[in-house]
Structure 1
Amino acid sequence: MRAGFGREIFFRPLTSMWTRFIQAGKRLLDAFTGWLHKREYDAGLISSVQRWLPYVGGAVLVAGLAVLYEKLFEWAEHFLILVKTHADWLFFGLTPVMFLLGWVMVRRYAPAAGGSGIPQLMVAIDARKGQKRVSTGDLLGGRVLLTKLGSSVAALLGGALIGREGPTIQMSAAIFYVIHKLLPASWPRIERPRMLIAGGAAGLAAAFNTPLGGIVFVIEELTRAHLNTFKSSLLYAVIFAGMTVQWLLGPYLYLGYPKVAADGLDTLLWVVLFSAVAGIAGAYKSKLILAILAWKRRRVRGWGQVWFVLACGLAVGAIIFFNDDVAYGPGKEIMNRYLFNQHRAPATLSLLLSRFFGAILSYSSGVAGGVFATSLTTGSLVGELLMNLLDLPAENKLFILSAMIGFLTGVTRSPFTSSILVLEMTDRHSAIFHFMLAGLVASVAARLVDRRSLYGELAKAYLQPEPA
């Protein structure tokens, strides 16, 4: 009751402003159409502009959001480095407090802003009804966008092991949802699921600078419809989001150009081994997250939820304090270290376990944050440790990349998305078949641990009534 009252008091003025904003937007677009007619443009051209403008405009906004979000994460990580360097004991208080702040934002203002955001988008796209009625606005509205941004940054400032890619996908879909609401009735009708799908793809493309990854992600995760039903809108969104990000940040690769040697039968066998081990490890991460969330859903009530969040924060704070390495944040520095021989600190089993369980606790706490980047980081640690154990040549990074693909596949059960993402992050096209093999092997190995999909199971939770 109090949470609902607080939301009402806080958002009542914003709701009125939101209604006026939507009405003003519709009038503006109608005025734009009138201007085109006065200029005596061809009716077919006007219709084409009305069909592609929502996607191009949304893609540009998504790119701007993705760049801003990336900068916020960078600034938060710089802050964590300062705390770790000069006063690491602060994590025992800072981490629980910031976890609680991130959780309160989600709990009070937008419950659908918690976690990755991909399951929420899957529910919003799926037209089928579950046992529980859920509106698209509750899953992807402007309130969710703002809460997602605030909660994830707050949690990261406390050292949460979270990524920004899943949240970027949800926030991007929210932008496209808002644009869909702005479209006047006089414009050609665009189906809402098509807009949401394009928004999700644009979000992933902008977050990782991986346009093909965005397209494959949509096909593999977000829809079972044939590509022909939405290919044009999808391409508009992905291309313009990617172009805008490159215009703002310049051409770049998320992980640079690691050295790979993709030849010989023995190489294939090592790829199979690394991806299978990493896939199994990723599947256990997914299984533990689902188990903790299911237990929390059944058993934790009232103030117990607060104590649970504080306990997760305290545990992550202890992990950060007792590790001399980067046991906080997404962990991109660790990936670069092992892919480019920047061995300022060796890979250790302690760091692997710290990041593995730290990411699980961060996600399970209920704050906003994704699993893509943290899974790739843990996969790189698995690969580096296996290379040291098997005494393989340090200059060939194919095996580390295979473990990264394997671990991400084990978590998400999206082998082709994982393969294409790593391919585009590194531009190692000579290893494309090895990457795809790694994804397929990891997918099979992960099913030995648990046949369930993390995102699929989390999506089901939004359609089920709360237990009594």
Structure 2
Amino acid sequence: MSPRRIRVVLRRHGPEALVWRRRVAIVGGAVMVGIVALIFADVADRANALFHGFVARWWWAPLIATPAGFALIAWLTIRFAPLARGSGIPQVMAATKAPEAALSTLVSVRAAVAKFVLTAGALLIGASVGREGPTVQIAAAIMGRMHRLLRIPLRSSVYIAGGAAGVAAAFNTPLAGVAFAIEELAAAYEQRMTLLVMAAVLIAGMVSLGIAGDYIYFGAMRQTLGFTQALVAAPVAGIVGGIAGGVFSRLMLEAGRTTLPPFGRLRTRPVLFASLCGAVVAITGVATGLTWGTGYESANHIIAGGDVPAWFGIAKFVSTLATAVSGIPGGIFAPSLSIGAGIGALLREVFPGYSPGAIVLLGMVGYFTGVVRAPLTAVIIISETTASRGLMMPLLASALTADFAAQFVCKEKLYHGLSQRFLQAPK
């Protein structure tokens, strides 16, 4: 081969070739996503534990600290990183529409760092938020920045892969990451995205597994339902959970666009509005003692067969809605699973002869599907976080029923509706 031919071959297939740089970006980005997701999880858990210790010592203190904390976080978000508000998933959806521009706005380093710090801060003041949605935005930012550093053109698939890897690392659920990419992040799942998404999800999952160990998010739940029991319970859980989840989505979407005088005026004063939402969270939390933070402990307790008051699901619903509409950074995945567990606890009373843990999971998948309208993702998340593979068919039946029922309450999908605001907002 001539020297010129050798140079051409090296340029196309050597270490500096685009194909190799793209592979390095995928692997390096996925490894970073796995590490950052685990650090974020640890920081969030510590913040949650600190708040619970604070409440145990001074039960009345959140009545002052939580509204003030909501106001402070809202001000910091507006002042330094307005695109870090809310869940983070709508931002990634909007980022796929203009990948290059989004790297300096919707999935910028500033937005990712603010998301990390302010979500932890929200848990430190008792807000009903989860870390899973924020992890999606942070992961997309990491994947996008890695591609930029290696001078690789950005495509929407980069953010989709990053977000999917974030879900996989946050829950230790690789299959749910793939399903989430297909159902939520990608409006039209293109064949060329397959390798990128699968590689990112698997690598991030392996990093999480290697560092944190082979854990099950909610612990193993081995209960099952008979065929006849599933035929009866799954549709009921789907209808109840789907309607409740649809109501949450409808209220959250309407809160951002209603022209009713009180809300219209309050939207022009977002810090005051956030403090009022914080007051609702504080009053609900102090009155019940069960609605603070992610709700992971309550959900785990219910799945394991523990009892909670009949009003738990409603109280957690109010706390989560108040937090979500306040505009402070934080996700709704974990709180939604907790609300669903509360609905499942009520359904246990309706089906006393059925396996109680199985009924709780049907309530969880029904409500979660009603909120996010992604039945496949909901089923896989519940199945992987509880190792309840024997319930796959009842869970799927409940999720599909919930998706159908939720449409009668809220036709618009929550995350897609929220993403439109980031497309229309000034960058």
Is TM > 0.5 for Structure 1 vs Structure 2? yes
**Amino acid corresponding to residue 339 of structure 2 in structure 1:** T
Query: Is residue 115 from structure 1 mapped to residue 86 from structure 2 by the alignment?
Result: yes
- In structure 2, give the amino acid aligned to 1:193: S
Residue number in structure 1 paired with 2:285: 320
Q: Distance in 1 between matches of 2:267 and 2:389?
A: 52
How do 1:4-403 residues align onto structure 2 when only pairs under 5 Å count? 44=13, 46=15, 47=17, 48-127=19-98, 135-184=102-151, 189-295=152-258, 299-300=264-265, 304-324=269-289, 326-341=290-305, 343=306, 346-393=307-354, 395-403=355-363
| TM superposition shift of 1:347 | 2.1
Matched, 1:424 2:387: no
Aligned residue for 2:114, secondary structure, equals: helix
Instruction: Decide whether aligned partners of structure 1 residues 431 and 45 sit closer, same or farther in structure 2, where only a CA change above 3 A counts.
Output: farther
Amino acid at match of 1:145: A
Q: How far did 1:304 drift?
A: 2.6
SS of the equivalent of 2:291 reads coil
CA deviation after TM superposition for structure 1 residue 336, in Å: 1.1
Q: For 2:122 and 2:180, locate their aligned partners in 1 and report how far apart those are by CA, in whole Å.
A: 26
Superposed displacement of residue 457, structure 1: 0.9
Whether the aligned pair in 1 keeps the contact of 2:130 and 2:293 (CA below 8 Å) is yes
**CA deviation vs aligned residue, 1:90-116 (integer Å, no higher than 9, x gap):** 001110121122212210111110000
The two structures have a TM-score, normalised by structure 1, of: 0.84
- Is residue 74–residue 274 contact of structure 2 (8 Å, CA) maintained in 1? yes
How far residue 124 of structure 1 moved from its aligned partner, in angstroms, is: 0.6
| Alpha-carbon separation, structure 2, partners of 1:353 and 1:386 | 14
Q: Report Cα offsets for 1:314-337 as digits up to 9, x if no partner.
A: 11111111113x211111111111
Stretches of structure 1 that go unaligned for 5 or more consecutive residues are 1-36
Q: Is the 8 A contact 2:102 2:108 kept in 1?
A: no
C-alpha contact 2:62 2:286 (8 A) present in aligned 1: yes
Contact persistence 1:402–1:435 (CA under 8 A): yes
Name structure 2 gaps, 5 residues minimum.
1-5
Percent sequence identity over aligned pairs: 32
- Letter of the aligned partner of 2:348 in structure 1? M
Check if 1:444 corresponds to 2:404. Answer: yes
Pick closer, same or farther for the CA change 1:296–1:181 going to 2, 3 Å.
farther
Tell me the distance in 1 between the aligned counterparts of 2:333 and 2:248.
12
Instruction: Assess if the C-alpha contact under 8 Å between 2:347 and 2:363 holds in 1.
Output: no
Contact 1:63 1:241 in 2 (8 A): yes
String of CA shifts for 1:156-182, please: whole Å, max 9, x gaps: 111000010000000100111111221
Question: Aligned to 1:349, what secondary structure does the other structure show?
Answer: coil
Deviation at 1:340, TM superposition (A): 1.2
The 8 Å contact of residues 103 and 151 in structure 1, kept in 2 or not, is answered as no
Change (3 A) 1:440 1:302: closer
Cα distance, 1:279 vs structure 2: 1.0
Deviation at 1:306, TM superposition (A): 2.0
